[in-house]
Amino acid sequence: MAVTLSETDAAKLRASAGAAGIGPGLLSRALVRYGLDHLDDPGIQAVIEAVTTADRERRAETGRRAMQIRHHGGEQPPDKG
């Protein structure tokens, strides 16, 4: 299984793992285990909601950019006003 992380999260994971004296893979597994064991925790639920919202917004922006390129060659659409 592969998980894509933001550059910020990846850097934070590497730094936190280094501070703990372990590799980022091991820290990732520990964090996943903790999260799965505490899914009913309001803090975990808030993080799930935040990443879901961010992913939805990222996908919508990708779609908007693709349509812009497809219909306007990457240029701004003509002003209809």
Q: How do residues 19-74 score in pLDDT, each as one tens digit? A: 999 999 999 999 999 999 999 999 999 999 999 999 999 889 889 888 888 887 76
Q: What is the amino acid identity at position 38?
A: H
Interatomic CA distance for residues 51 and 31, integer angstroms: 15
* Cα gap 77→31, rounded to integer Å: 45
Reported pTM: 0.68
pLDDT at 76 over 70: no
Instruction: Give the CA distances from residue 15 to residues 5, 10, 27, 33, in Å, rounded to whole numbers and listed in that order.
Output: 14, 9, 11, 20
